Amino acid sequence: MSNWDVFLTPYKQAVEELKVKLKGVREQYQKSSLHTPIEFVTGRVKPVSSILDKAKRKNIPIDRLGEEMQDLAGLRIVTQFVEDIETVVELIRTRRDFEIIEERDYINEKKPSGYRSYHLVLRYPVQTIEGERKILVELQVRTLAMNFWSTIEHSLNYKYSGEIPEEIKNRLLRAAEAAFQLDEEVSIIRDEVREAQSIIIREQEQGRKL
């Protein structure tokens, strides 16, 4: 690839646009004093070194990256509760500004590593100076606990170049189970937490008006 910057420009644009749109959804929930299913949104364009690594690992020719590497543009929505994931996914399904071309449910079917998350692959139209281009974007939806676990596992994978020692792997599986238990426990007190949070938001709004 002679010019990665040029190739990745539409992906960068898609990430920026979708971040604004998804943060807008969170803002609307907050303004209407409803519990927001979105805790925070992050996004990134895959670094060139990771693109090259993944292309090699998955045998993807460089001239097929746009069609075969679905996460060149990646968005992540992190929620407080497992139940929020379904709410977010439903909301994404009703949108008309992109098309969903694939969904992968690693919540009900976790990966062997212990990874849990809900993935959607979107076909998103970007307006370029050469006209409209539809590009692939991967959207990951997961809870704070799932995010914590996968951030740690990702760092260890990086440290050990994907060959995590067996003992650490086992610990990670136990940590994944603990994260699962945490999600289960907070689900049970979800209504209490949501009520407390709406009181806090109301009082902050009243404070602003005084």
Binding-site ranges for ligand 0O2 (CB under 6 A): 19, 23, 39-40, 42-44, 46, 50, 54, 70-71, 104, 111, 113, 115, 119, 150, 153-154
Handedness of CA 132, 137, 143, 148 (dihedral sign): negative
Task: Please tell me the distance from the alpha carbon of residue 12 to that of residue 193, in angstroms, as a whole number.
Answer: 36
Kindly report the number of other CB atoms within 10 A of residue 143's CB atom.
27
From residue 158, alpha-carbon distances to 113, 119, 145, 150, 152 in Å are 14, 21, 20, 12, 10
Least distance in angstroms from the C-beta of 111 to ligand 0O2: 5
Angle formed at CA 15 by CA 12 and CA 21, multiple of 5 degrees: 140
Pairing of strands 40-45, 118-128: unpaired
Tokens 């993807």 locate to 60
Q: Rank residues 57 and 96 by Cβ distance to ligand 0O2 and give the closer one.
A: 57
Q: Rank residues 52 and 126 by Cβ distance to ligand 0O2 and give the closer one.
A: 52
Q: Rank residues 92 and 131 by Cβ distance to ligand 0O2 and give the closer one.
A: 92
Handedness of CA 193, 198, 199, 205 (dihedral sign): positive
Q: Rank residues 129 and 183 by Cβ distance to ligand 0O2 and give the closer one.
A: 183
Q: Rank residues 7 and 40 by Cβ distance to ligand 0O2 and give the closer one.
A: 40
Catalytic residue, chosen from 99, 138, 167, 205, is 138
- Is 138 one of the annotated active-site residues of the chain? yes
Least distance in angstroms from the C-beta of 181 to ligand 0O2: 19
Take residue 159 and report the two structure tokens written for it.
Answer: 């440290």
CA-based nearest residue to 135, from 14, 4, 7, 1:
14
Distance of CA 7 to the CA centre of its chain: 23
Least distance in angstroms from the C-beta of 59 to ligand 0O2: 11
Least distance in angstroms from the C-beta of 188 to ligand 0O2: 22
Active site residues: 138
